[in-house]
Structure 1
Amino acid sequence: MLTVNGKYLYKDGQRFFYLADTCWSAFTNLTLPDWKFYLDTRKAQGYTAIQINLLRQYDSSCPIKGREPFAIIEHDDGSYEYDFSKINTSYFDNVEKMLEQMQERGMVPSLVLLWGNFVPDTWMSHFVKNNTIPFEQIRPYIKYVVNRFKKFNPIWFVSGDVGFVDNETQKSEAAIKYYREVLESAKEVDPEGIYTFHINGESYELPDEFKKRISFFSYQSGHAQTGQNTAFTIPQKLRASGYEGPIVDAEICYEGLQKMHSQYPERYSAFEVRKSAWRAVLAGADMGVGYGSFGLWPLKELDDGVFSTGAVGQGVAVSLEKGEVKAPFDGTVVSVFPTKHAITLKSKSGVELLIHIGLDTVELKGKGFKQLVHDGDAVRKGDLLETVDLDLIKEAGFNLASPVIVTNPANFDKVASQTQGHVQAGDQLLLATVDQAKTEKVSSVSLA
């Protein structure tokens, strides 16, 4: 169980460093096997907590069919809205199973109770129509989830990415009213719980009535290039103002995410992520740090109807960032499709690999692809196979998620993904195991 003493969190009497990964959409978008793999990976990497939205994330991909927290009302124009009076208990049954997996691994769930899109007059409320929760439905929902999940000793994030300062994009009156109700309802059920607020990027303003009742102060230096200094300026301001509790930058710049408000189309590197983390911790936000990654999704979540079924083989999907496709191992070009959107390779030890550039890009009939190798060519790891005009593909409306598939998995004891998050040329992406003594490594294709 977590407790607070001075500037730090403690777990079972020992100092607890909050090293959290961000997986907002876990409850709506991950199958249980994928969740177990994800947790095992993050546990091995030293993470101690996972940050998750209890409800559907408004800016994420579509959830797994049926994974909705409330009953759905369908409209004739194709839109929908939630009936917040009807909680989907099967959704929360699955949440409980996923939290049990975290508990087995000794990891702490950080659960957002109510994201900002469900609250009127927040900066994001206009992005999702018809999904503002009626004020009178807050208390029943909050009491239900807090009572059900308090046994997992979570950290409760009262809000999700919400600011409490009036400006041209948001008004604070409704947010204060709604989150006062959230906090009071939760504390009635779990008075000894750990509470904080997830406020929007580069902000540190929190109403005094909330600041007096939180267990620690959580801020986010966020993803705008112009605001990266807030990683250290916010904790400095908080300490200077007399705040003596724990502080954490719970959302530093996501590794691989495009820099917002940047003059150039650049993405945050691992170095820049480490820089933000150290700046925050050394400036006084030393309760821990919240990390986030961008760029690679497990294949089963593509839900494309072909690759996600496993009918073609086993593998992963990579979100493209650079217009180059390089050989991931020494081998032979088996075939370059006439439309140049896909290449098959064979390694010296027998791995047959399909690299499919984007989804449904066969419809481009070769436009935007430049072929540099031919059937039968011998290639070495790192050789350039094709160049791709990513802008053309995006402007044509195609998905840049690119399946990388071992098409003969029956020849191996196991084919498994070796990484998640941002990848680059040379990173190990897949591992095909023949037996304990012989393995074939498939490195990352330079699509990201």
Structure 2
Amino acid sequence: MHGPIAAAPDGRTLLRDGAPFFWLADTCWSAFTSISDREWEDYLDLRAEQGFTVLQLNTLAQWDRCNAPGDRHPFATPDGICYDFTRPDPAYFAHARAMCRTAVEKGFTLALVVMWCNYVPDTWAARIFPENVMPEDCVEPVVRTICENFREFAPVWIVSGDTDFKSEAACTRYRQVTELVEQYAPGLPKAYHICGRSDDLPDWFARHADFYLYQSGHNRAGQDCAFTLAEHFAALQPRRPVINSEPCYEQMGYSHKEYGRFRRQETRRALWQSLLAGACAGITYGAHGVWNWQREGVPARKLVRVPGQPPATFGEGFLRALPWERAVRFPGAADYAFARQFMLQGGGEALVPCQEILAAYAPQVRAARRGRQVLIYLPVNAPLPLQGDWSGYTATALDLNGTEARVPLTVDLQQEQTLLGMHPFYEDALLILQPKQGN
């Protein structure tokens, strides 16, 4: 088994067992409740073959998961929805440990959520589903149970799940959970999974985080958060490695019931804009149908009725997911795996944003330095002007599948600019500027 992940000395990248490590995670939040043993083996084998290195899993039941035959539950439950937190189910945790053991034997690092926000008072999810807010006197025994069952796997503890920190009640509860994790699983890294499009990580939690995670999320109008939040967290002190731990998921419907789905192109754009804007420690992929483990023909899970409100479907009302067997093979996973290969080919060296070189199309076009090399993500094919004289460089376009092509480079001394010509590919590309020999 591998040792825990740690921040590299540069404060921007990660190490595992002393070697450069790129966080390429898949979100499989519902694994412990919903996946059969045979499905788990098949899923792990495929994701390992694709190059994934981290699995983001919820230790407790994911509140907006899909229904599953033989649903497993971490606590006694009269209706399969509401829990008696005083009665943990040993069989649930034993089975979850066995799943973790299989995953780490196949080379995965686990990123385990300790307490999703629906279990925490005065969060957005708790206001929708108040029945499962965990009583205060149950917090210590539940967190102790989680730590004692999973700490042997050297996980990254994701203390919070999809949370906001807008109320004192929520902050008090998450401070308590953080301190309990430090007590019962000392020496393991911690991070916080924040709700979509938010930069709200109060100072106390930032000091206790080993990495900064953010979520650019599933709102169609909020996709610029892939780079704006990367910039925000990369500028925080103390400096920590930054990861977009929940960009738009492939084939996820736009949030708030807006019609439409994120396609491969949008997920790839979120990937590269995150990496080049400051979140270069890694990236998380998501497939709609995998995170919630959708099965063919199984109806959506329903909330219990909240007094004064009609029954509601779990979550934000996304369009129905495709079955997990199809979702696990969405083509966008290959784009994320390619990004990991590309990043590690550079020896795991950090990317340092350099937007100042762009003379047009910022902020959607992203630029970063990797040593003497300059990388530019171009989401739309167009000639790109740069500030200054770049005649000492060669320019190559990479079509994000590995095919390369030279890009013409023309210097305009009068305008004090250099124009990069159009590349020959149909979609987005990564432009690589490399100093000529002798420069």
When normalised by structure 2's length, the TM-score is: 0.65
* Structure 1 runs not aligned, ≥5 long: 166-171, 306-318, 320-398, 404-416, 425-448
* Structure 2 residue corresponding to 1:47, chosen from 41, 46, 52: 52
* Structure 1 residue corresponding to 2:270, chosen from 258, 265, 276: 276
Work out the CA distance in 1 between the residues paired with 2:57 and 2:241.
20
* Structure 2 residue corresponding to 1:226, chosen from 221, 224, 229: 221
Match of 1:288 in 2: 282
The answer to whether the aligner puts 1:205 opposite 2:206 as a matched pair is no
Confirm or deny: 8 A CA contact 1:297 1:421 kept in the other structure: no
Work out the CA distance in 2 between the residues paired with 1:116 and 1:299.
20
Confirm or deny: 8 A CA contact 1:221 1:227 kept in the other structure: yes
1:388-430 superposed Cα distances (whole Å, 9 cap, x missing partner): xxxxxxxxxxx98899xxxxxxxxxxxxx68725479xxxxxx
Question: In structure 2, do the counterparts of structure 1 residues 85 and 295 end up closer, same or farther at CA, with 3 Å as the change threshold?
Answer: closer
When normalised by structure 1's length, the TM-score is: 0.64
Confirm or deny: 8 A CA contact 1:297 1:420 kept in the other structure: no
Aligned residue type for 1:49: V
Work out the CA distance in 2 between the residues paired with 1:32 and 1:291.
23
RMSD of Structure 2 on Structure 1 (CA): 2.9
User: How many Å apart are 1:136 and its aligned residue?
Assistant: 1.4
Work out the CA distance in 1 between the residues paired with 2:247 and 2:320.
25
* Correspondences of 1:260-339 after superposition (within 5 Å): 260=255, 265-295=259-289, 301-302=295-296
Aligned residue type for 1:284: G
1:42-84 superposed Cα distances (whole Å, 9 cap, x missing partner): 011110011111111111112442511011145xxxx853111
Confirm or deny: 8 A CA contact 2:28 2:291 kept in the other structure: no
Work out the CA distance in 2 between the residues paired with 1:138 and 1:224.
32
Q: Percent identity?
A: 36
Question: In structure 2, do the counterparts of structure 1 residues 109 and 401 end up closer, same or farther at CA, with 3 Å as the change threshold?
Answer: closer
The answer to whether the aligner puts 1:11 opposite 2:12 as a matched pair is no
The answer to whether the aligner puts 1:67 opposite 2:61 as a matched pair is no
Match of 1:313 in 2: none
Work out the CA distance in 2 between the residues paired with 1:418 and 1:198.
27
Please state whether the residue corresponding to 1:280 is helix, strand or coil. helix
Match of 1:239 in 2: 234
The answer to whether the aligner puts 1:192 opposite 2:187 as a matched pair is yes
* Structure 2 residue corresponding to 1:420, chosen from 319, 328, 331: 328
Aligned residue type for 1:273: T
Work out the CA distance in 2 between the residues paired with 1:259 and 1:129.
25
Match of 1:341 in 2: none
User: How many Å apart are 1:267 and its aligned residue?
Assistant: 1.1
Work out the CA distance in 2 between the residues paired with 1:3 and 1:295.
31
* Worse-matched range after superposition: 11-20 or 63-72: 63-72
Aligned residue type for 2:148: N
Question: In structure 2, do the counterparts of structure 1 residues 164 and 419 end up closer, same or farther at CA, with 3 Å as the change threshold?
Answer: closer
Please state whether the residue corresponding to 2:269 is helix, strand or coil. helix
Please state whether the residue corresponding to 2:132 is helix, strand or coil. coil
1:203-224 superposed Cα distances (whole Å, 9 cap, x missing partner): 1111111110111000000000
Question: In structure 2, do the counterparts of structure 1 residues 102 and 217 end up closer, same or farther at CA, with 3 Å as the change threshold?
Answer: same
Confirm or deny: 8 A CA contact 2:76 2:83 kept in the other structure: yes
Q: For CA contacts below 8 A with separation 6 or more, give which structure has more relative contact order.
A: 2
Q: How many residues align?
A: 309
Match of 1:94 in 2: 95
Aligned residue type for 2:111: S
User: How many Å apart are 1:299 and its aligned residue?
Assistant: 10
* Correspondences of 1:103-142 after superposition (within 5 Å): 103-142=104-143
1:319-377 superposed Cα distances (whole Å, 9 cap, x missing partner): 9xxxxxxxxxxxxxxxxxxxxxxxxxxxxxxxxxxxxxxxxxxxxxxxxxxxxxxxxxx
Confirm or deny: 8 A CA contact 1:226 1:261 kept in the other structure: no
Aligned residue type for 1:56: A
